[in-house]
Structure 1
Amino acid sequence: MSLDKILSISGKPGLYKVVTPTRSGFVAESLLDKKRITVNAHSNVSVLSEIAVYTLTEELPLREVFKKIKTKEEGKPTSISHKDSKDILEEYFFDVLPDYDEDRVYASDIKKIVQWYNLLQQHDLLSALDETKKAASTETSSEEE
């Protein structure tokens, strides 16, 4: 499953995966407790593949940030919790992404990123980070032919 199918829904904890579309929105399943909810078109929904993190030079896609965390943690859950103090979270994130923009990336953003990474890791969805790269390179090579 790619990050295009994984969502963050404002006001709801954790992450959700899209199950099926409906007339007025879609049905999503929580990665936390597997409960399904109906989300209408007016809900504030963020697709993980569309989120980026500010650095001093560019906006880095969340996928790339997850890859850096995965490399640092060798594919395991993070060594810190999203419930740790602001200083611990910022220090950890600085190790992962030394050039992140400290003025525009808040501790609350880092908490979400750490929590989301751990959820994806727990549900074995980090392989999606590599799959999308393979799919993109396949598309590129087929266009060149």
Structure 2
Amino acid sequence: MNLEKILAISGKPGLYVLQVQTRTGFVAESLVDGKKITVNLKSNVSLLSEISIYTYEGEKPLAEIMQKIADKESKGQAISHKEDNAKLTAYFKEILPDYDEERVYPSDIKKVLNWYNMLQAKGLVTDEAPVAVVTEEVAAVAEETPEAEVKAPAKKAKAKKE
């Protein structure tokens, strides 16, 4: 599953696809309604390809976990993220038996399942190998872009008549 250009933006519902980088940030398209928004560099943005879930042995990339959900559900919808916490944790235990129950909260499980179901509804659940490498284009978004140098207009010398 390729999560390379899929974004979660803090304060905005749903997931977004990175479209193009601008001088002051980037343009992203919502997976929910297809609307395009501009996001500045000060916004808290998470690339799904960079998110991991804690396990007792270390961390597992989100792409691997979503692939496991896809395999379990035969690329279909997973259970709703609105189920009660006991049902969600039992389901997640089937997917990732060694997840760290003290550091992975029910809210995290709800996010993962909600994101998976959004991606599945848009047909983005595929057999591709997990991608955990950020492209140069996406990495450049995280860096601050220098302000353009502003040149002061040349002053015209006035000739004094005496």
Q: TM-score range by the shorter chain?
A: 0.7 to 0.9
Across the aligned residues of Structure 1 and Structure 2, the Cα RMSD in angstroms comes to 1.7
Name the CA distance, whole Å, in 2 between partners of 1:69 and 1:26: 30
> For the pair shown, which has the larger CA radius of gyration, 1 or 2?
2
Deviation at 1:4, TM superposition (A): 1.5
Q: Does structure 2 retain, via aligned residues, the 8 Å contact 1:77–1:118?
A: yes
Aligned residue number for residue 50 of structure 2: 50
TM-score (norm 2): 0.77
Aligned residue number for residue 119 of structure 1: 118
Deviation at 1:2, TM superposition (A): 3.3
Aligned residue number for residue 85 of structure 1: 84
Name structure 1 gaps, 5 residues minimum.
134-145
Matched, 1:13 2:10: no
Name the CA distance, whole Å, in 2 between partners of 1:132 and 1:104: 24
User: Which aligned pairs between 1:91-102 and structure 2 lie closer than 5 A?
Assistant: 91-102=90-101
Q: Does structure 1 retain, via aligned residues, the 8 Å contact 2:2–2:129?
A: no
TM-score (norm 1): 0.86
Name the CA distance, whole Å, in 2 between partners of 1:52 and 1:22: 28
Deviation at 1:130, TM superposition (A): 2.9
User: Structure 1 or 2: larger helix share?
Assistant: 1
Name the CA distance, whole Å, in 2 between partners of 1:68 and 1:4: 18
Aligned residue number for residue 61 of structure 1: 61
SS of the residue corresponding to residue 129 of structure 2 reads helix
Distance 1:86 1:31, change over 3 A: same
Number of residues paired by the alignment?
132
Instruction: Calculate percent identity across the aligned residue pairs.
Output: 55
Name the CA distance, whole Å, in 2 between partners of 1:131 and 1:113: 15
Name the CA distance, whole Å, in 1 between partners of 2:127 and 2:27: 21
Name the CA distance, whole Å, in 1 between partners of 2:35 and 2:54: 33
Deviation at 1:54, TM superposition (A): 0.3
SS of the residue corresponding to residue 56 of structure 2 reads coil
Could you list the per-position Cα deviations for residues 63-118 of structure 1 after superposition, in whole angstroms to 9, with x for gaps in the alignment? 1000110111011011x201111111111101111100000000010001001101
Considering Cα pairs closer than 8 Å and 6+ residues apart, tell me whether 1 or 2 has the greater RCO: 2
Could you list the per-position Cα deviations for residues 42-77 of structure 1 after superposition, in whole angstroms to 9, with x for gaps in the alignment? 100000100000011010000100011011101101
